[in-house]
Copies of this chain bind each other. A is one copy, B any other.
Amino acid sequence: MTSYEKFSEQDHLNITAVRMLSVDQIEKANSGHPGLPLGTAPAVYALWSRILRHNPANPQWPDRDRFVLSPGHGSTLLYSLLNLFGYDLPIDELKRFRQYGSKTPGHPEQGHTAGVETTTGPLGQGVSNAVGMALAERFLAGHFNEPDFPIINHHTYALVGDGDLMEGISHEALSFAGQQKLNKLICLFDDNNITIEGKATLACADDAEMRFKSYGWNVLRVYDGNDAAAIAAALEQARASQDKPTVIIMKTHIGNGSPRQDTPSAHGEPLGEKNWRATREFYKWTEPQFEIPEEIRNSFAEIAASRAREEEKWHALFDAYTRKFPAKAEEFRQWLDGKLPSAWWQAVPLFAGKEGAMASRESGGKVLNAIADVLPNLIGGSADLAPSTKTALTKYPERTLHFGIREHAMGAIVNGMALHGGVIPFSSTFFVFTDYMRPAMRMAALMGTHSIFVFTHDSIGVGEDGPTHQAVEHLSAMRAMPRMTLLRPGDANETAAAWISAIQHKGPSCIVLTRQKLELLDCDPQYVRDSAARGAYVTHAPASGKPEVVIIGTGSEAKVAQLAAQKLCGEGVNASSVSMPSFELFRAQDKRYRDGVLPPGVKRVAVEAGTSMCWREFVGEDGAFVCVEDYGVSAPYSEVFKHFGITVDNVADKARKLVRG
């Protein structure tokens, strides 16, 4: 135990400054959540001032401790700390809290504000990201550290609230962390027993200590959340845990010191002038709004400087490491900078001939494993479906994660790993379960994390498992999500292209694969692989003359489209076919390319085993669809396709009727 017995008078002034600066922001904006910063300022100050290894001047230092504010609505707490500790967040930005164009949005946004490790707000996401960060840390430490050279050796801290812990995702993430024995993950539970509708016990009677213990966590308690020294001591104790993550359950008071203390109204409404004044009186704070006395600023600066020395020490260590292990040091820099080895994609096989006919989940597994050979920081796994999704890294058990039947946390953990940096993480499950992961996928898209989400069993092609497991609306629903790249490859070579795109793309991707076998497209394999990267390309053209109709397909229907076009050409109808594995990649092409693939004025038919909503953009009013507009049925998959008319004959008929009536 170190010397946290007493926090000085100055510390208490500093804590008051954090509280006051937080409520000042909210009053100015006339919008925000004062309850959390007032209640948890002592705890988070204790962490940031005594424990957290961070350097405000370099928020990108790779071995910094991570801090996650899981209840993102308490953003002013974070903004106050960032400002006072000297991060790049001037006081003028705090004055523009929640205003258009400011660095201080309502909820903290990663990539937008220096020092914000992850975007939080939707409850449960932050704490699950933290699990991913701790997992990435352990993997990188295992890979890079050498005796006496712990170049990766940091902790992940998360403040969590009642809301985080009621959300189902917290169960998944905390249980996973316990099973994984992530001892460098430490949560501070803001146990204030108040939620929006009243006392938390109105809806929740969980024994939190017992619950955490059931997951294999170490549980510490601080009975006075205002006792910064006790919290610092508990944090120090938590850091000593060798085989368990730790939660520190802190009894706190929402809106501490305000007239609304311990009431729901403290949560999400500005205090209002009168209460704001009363709160300042309670804390004996007489400074003008947003003004921080020099002595307090100086004190924070001193603390920040002492914290920053940790980075200096680390650089000395890393320099020595570089001399002793130059290749590993170079690899470390590459990984942390997100750089890929040159020509890495040459490892990806080309599929040709009869050997190329396989389910895209199978070709996906082959491609993934080939990539894993050349990208040793590719790490991921499945929500207990690896034998079905074919995503186990067979040669690399240490990089194959077992997420358990926890799709939602899996998504958020993958995001956390990506946010940590140094690794390229992926997840996998069935496509219908995007619904279970969607909140995490949205966060990936919003933040632009390099998260790779693999989904197999992508349509009615699931067959016998029936409508509960047959994705139908999920292609439209996922394509509706801004900034998410969806790739639904049509054969093994398109699958290779999809994986290459997903690895090279810096944002999130969603790779959508079949359960059932796919023939190779009847095209040159290299052409397929190169062209698929452009999102859409011609897979069949009439022998002569312009096409009268273009048939567009994706995934398992790319081949249907091609065969239908070939059939029509055989009948004297000039049809071409297009495979369109990615709307997003195709939209990013120039108009000339796009017009080449989908010639303006030529009628179009889309075939896809999913709802048609997303297709109208490409098919237009004159076009036609062969889509699946209702839930599926349980039967062998070929019968299900027949039931919905997803057949070469039906598609050819539709196309013929469209142009010949």
Contacts and interface: CB of A to CB of B under 8 A. Distances in A.
B171 A168 contact: yes
A100 B638 CA distance: 10
Interface residues of A, number: 110
5 contacts: A121-B466, A166-B384, A167-B407, A175-B206, A211-B211
Interface stretch (A135-143, A194-202, A247-255, A344-352): A194-202
A467 B446 contact: yes
Interface stretch (A3-11, A212-220, A359-367): A212-220
A639 interface: yes
A635 B467 CA distance: 42
A197 B480 contact: no
A162 interface: yes
A408 interface: yes
Contact of A206 (B107, B169, B214, B633): B214
Interface in A322-377: none
A95 to B, nearest CB: 14
Contact of A167 (B167, B168, B402, B613): B168
A122 interface: yes
Enumerate the 6 nearest inter-chain pairs by beta-carbon distance, A residue then B residue, closest first: A168-B168, A203-B404, A171-B171, A121-B468, A105-B634, A616-B616
Interface of A: 29, 31-32, 72-73, 98-102, 105-107, 109, 119-123, 162-163, 166-172, 175-176, 178-179, 195-198, 201-211, 213-216, 264, 382, 384-388, 402-409, 432-433, 435-436, 438-439, 442-443, 445-446, 463-469, 472-473, 476-477, 479-483, 611, 613-614, 616-617, 620-622, 629-631, 633-636, 639-640, 643
A405 B175 contact: no
A518 B318 CA distance: 60
Contact of A466 (B101, B107, B463): B107
Contacts of A176: 203-204
A168 B465 contact: no
B384 A464 contact: no
Contacts of A483: 630-631
Nearest to A613: B480
Contacts of A473: 442, 480-482
A315 B302 CA distance: 80
A465 B109 CA distance: 11
B107 A634 contact: yes
Given A207-B214, A404-B203, A405-B195, A476 B480 contact: yes
A380 B473 CA distance: 28
Contacts of A122: 432-433, 435-436, 468-469
Given A102-B634, A206-B215, 18 more contacts: A32-B464, A105-B634, A107-B465, A107-B634, A121-B468, A166-B172, A168-B172, A171-B172, A175-B205, A178-B206, A197-B387, A203-B384, A207-B213, A207-B214, A473-B480, A473-B481, A476-B613, A620-B620
Instruction: Pick the most buried of A99, A122, A166, A617: most chain B CB atoms within 10 A of its CB.
Output: A166
